[in-house]
Structure 1
Amino acid sequence: MKKQSLQHWILAADLIWTLIAMVLAYFLRYGITWYGPAGESFLAFTPLLLGALGLWTVIFSWTKLDGFRRGWHLPAILSQLFLAVCFLIMVLLAGAYLARDFVSRLTLAYFGFLLFVGFVMIRYFVHAILGSKYVIGAVRRVVIVGNGPVAREMASKIERHPEMLCQVVGFLCSADTSFDSRMPGVAGAATTVRTLGVIDLLRDERVDEVIITLSRPGLPEVMNLATRCRREGIGVSVVPHPYELYLSKPELLDIGGLPVVRLHEANGNFANAAWKLGLDVTLGFVLLLLSLPIIAIGALAMIRKQGGLFCRELRCGQFGKLFWMCRLNSDRDCKALPSYELVLQQLSITELPQLWNVLRGEMSLVGPRPESPERVKHYSDWQRQRLNVKPGMTGLAQVYGLRQQHSSEEKARFDLQYMLHPSPFLDISLLLQTVWTLVGRLLRLRGLSTPNTEEAESTTDNLLEGTLPSAHSTQSSAD
C-alpha cells in the first residue's frame, strides 16, 4: 500500500470515529436518547461535530498524525495523539464560549477520551494488519548496495517503517570487478560474487528491489548491475550523491524528464527561536517550581556525599560555547552505587538542576544532550551540526533509550533528525515521551533491593534493553 493512500485511509477512519465518538459521548452523558434535558438534543452538538471534523483534518495534515511518517514508535504516537486531542477539545470549548453556546463539559470530556482511545486503536489495528503481511511474506524483498552509514541507516529506516511493506534480506558491497554479498543463507558471512553471478543470487533470494546507497553510484559495475536488474524486472532505487544524513531536506524535481534532487539547508529562523525561547522560559520556570521538592529530596539522600550536594560539569553549548552544567553530585562511572543513588540516576533526578541552566539560556528543555569538550573535539563535521542549536535536557535520542553508554554518532543520528523538523508540538511531545520513558524505568526498578556490583550492572543493562544493537560504548557524557 502506498504511504499516501495509507494516510488517507487512516484520516478517513479518524473522521468516522469522530462521528461515532460524539454519539457515544452524548449517550454517556444523557442516556440512550436523542433528546437530553432542557431540550438539549443531539442536533445541538452538530456545530461542534462539524468543527471537530474540520479541525482534526487540519491537525492531522499539519502534525502528521498517521503514526507512520516518522517511523512506528508507540510512545511518540500516544504523546502526539494526546496533545492533538487536548488541543482539539480546547479549541471547541473556546469556540463554544465565544459563540455563547452552552456546551456540556462532561460530554466534551467523554468525547475527548473516546477520541484518544479510538485513534490509538485505529493505528494499532493498522499496524497489526501490516505485521500480518510480514508474517505471510506478502512484502517486497530488498537488497541494499553499500556498507556505509547511509546503507545502515536505510536498513534501520525500513525496519522502523512497516507501512513500506519491505524486508531487507541482505547487502551487496561493490568491489572493482565483483560484489561482496551478505545474505541470511550464509549466516551473515561475506561472500564474493562476480558481477555476472549477482543476478542469479538476487533471483535465488527472490529479491524485488535493489537500493543503491554508494557514494559513487556511477561506477561501471554498479551501472551494469542496475541495468541487469531492470532487465530482470527487479526494481532499482538510488540514494542521490552527495547526500549526508539529516543535514538537508531533499526535494525531487522533474525538469523535462530529468530528475533533479534539490537539497534545502535546515537552517533555523527567528520564529523557531522565538517560540522555543518562550517555551523554555515559561515551561522551564513551572517545571523548576514543581521539581524543587524532588530536587531537595534527592539532595538530602546524598547529603553524606563528599564534595557537596551539587556539582558542575563543563559542557559545550550552542556553537561550541562552553558552560557549566548543573546536576546532583552522583558519580555516573561508579559501579558500586547504593540502591537509592542508582534510582536517582535511572530516573534522571540527578539532572533536574539543569532547569537552572535552561532559565539562564544556556540550555533548552528539548535538544541534543550536551557533551564534554574532550568528546566534542573528536566530532566529525557531520556530528558538529548538532552544535547549531542549544543543548537540551532531553531529546529524540533519549526517548529512544540512548544514554551516556552510547556513541556520539548514534545520538547525533537522532539529534539531527529532530533538528530537521523543529516545532512546539514536537518539543512538547518529546517532553511527554520522556515522562513515558521515566515511568517505564520506574516500573522496571520496582522491587529492586540493595544491589551488589554485578546486580547494578545487570539492572543497567536491562534498563537499556531494546535500544539499537549497533550502538557501542565510548567515553561517558551527559545522560
Structure 2
Amino acid sequence: MLKEYHLFFRRLMICFDLFIVTISFFLSPFLFSDYGDVIQQFGNYFILLPALLSVWGIFLHNFGMYESFRTKNITEVIFPVIETALVGGGLLGSFVFLAKIQTIGSEHLFYSFFMATILLCGEKVSLLFFMQYQRKNGFNTRNILIVGTGKRAQHFINTIGKNVEWGINVIGLIDNDAAKKNTVVCGNKVIGAVKDIPAIIHKTVVDEVMFVVPRSWLNTVEEMIRYLCDIEGLKVSVAVDLFTLNLARTKYSHVTPDTIGKTRSYLSEFPLLVFESAPDKLLQLFIKRLMDIIFSGIALVSLFPVFLIIAIAIKTTSNGPLFFKQKRCSLNGRVFKLYKFRTMVADAEAKRGALLKNNEMQGPVFKMSNDPRVTKIGKFLRKYSIDEFPQFWNVLKGDMSLVGPRPPIPKEVDEYEPWHRRRLSMRPGLTCIWQVSGRNKITNFDEWMRLDLEYIDNWSVWLDFKILFGTVPAVLAGSGAK
C-alpha cells in the first residue's frame, strides 16, 4: 500500500485506541464508587491522564499492535493489548504508589485497565473481521496494472508478494515487446502492450496503473499517463526519479513496508510520482465514509415502518417482486447489485425496446415522462424518490455513498465516450450535484456528465453537506426520478 494510506490508518487507530483508554479511565470509577464521590474527584483524574495515555500508546506500539494489522489473526491482535495491560498497568501502578498520588487508587487503576482491555480487544477483533469481510468483497484491496517487466519491475512485484498487508492485487503486466505477451513474469501474466491499456481498463477493474519502466520509456508513456489521469480518472504512479510533468495533481510518495525494522532491512523503498484527478483527501474521504455508515444505518432503522407500509402497497397493487434489483457500476467499474422498490410492471425490461423511440435523454441513458410501464403506486414512489430508500443498504455496504454520481448500468458504461469514464473515479451516490441543479430537467447526457465531473473536481465534505441539504427540498417538491 502507498505509505500515506498506511500512515493515515495507523494514526487513526492510535487515536481511537487512546480515546477508548480515556473513556475507560473516566468511567471505571462508577463501577466501584458512589456517583457523588466520582464527580467530586473527577477533576483530579486529569493529573494522571497524560501518563496513562503514554503508557498505553508506547507499549501497544512496542508490542507490535500497529504493524501489518491487515495480516494479523485474532491471537495477534489480542496479545499486545493483554501484554500492555499487564506490563503497563504494573509500571503505572508502581509509579502511583511510589509518588504517593492519593487521588488515584489502585482499585481505580485496576478497573481502568480491565475495562480498556475488554474494549480494545473487542475493537480489534471487530476491526479484524470487518477488514476480512471488506477484502473478501473486494473493498480492502487495490487492483494494480503494472507497466514494465524489467529487473526493477520484477523487484517491485516480488516486494508486493512479500507484503500482502499492502492489499495490492496485480491484475497483469504490460510490455511493448510482442514476444513477451502471454508469458509469465514473477507469477504474473503479460497481458498486452501500452496501446492496449485503454481496452484492458475498460474490461477489468483497475484502481491504479503503475509504471515501473526505464527512463528511456518516459517520452512514449507520457501521453498514456495524461490519458489515464485526465480522461479515465485513474491514479497513476511512476517509479522513477523526480522529473517535471504538468499532469493532474502531482505529489511525491513511495511504496514502503508496513512493518518497521525487520522488513525494511531487506526491502528498498520505491520512489513514486503519483498523478491523480480524483479526490485524495484521506481524512475527508474517511469522514465521508463515516457519514455514509452513520446516516444510512440510522435511515434503515428509522424508516423500517415506512418500508413495511410500502411493501404492503406494492404487493397489493401489482404482481411481481417487492424489490427491483439491477447490476450497476461502482468505483472504477466494480459491479454491484442495486436495490430499489419496484415501481414498474414485472416485465418492464422486456417492454423497454419498444419505448426507446420515446427516449428524452441524449446519450446511452433512457429517460421518459409518463412511462406506461410505471404502476400507480410506482408513480407516487418515484415522484418523491421513495423508491430509492433501499439504496441506503447499498450505502451501508460500501457499494455507494450518500452523495456521488448516480451509478450507471454496465451497458451504459460500454457506450461511454472516453471522457465520460472519469465519473467512475468516485463512488456513486444516492444524490449528486445534477439532482439539485435542475434534477431531471437535464436532457443532454454530456451536460449531466460535465456536472458529475464538476462535482469530482471540486469535491469536499462541505460540498456533500450542501448537496444533501439541497436534495431535501427537491425531493419534497416532488421533482423526482422519471
Same fold per superposition (TM over 0.5) = no
TM-score norm. by structure 2 comes to 0.40
What's the TM-score once normalised by structure 1's chain length? 0.40
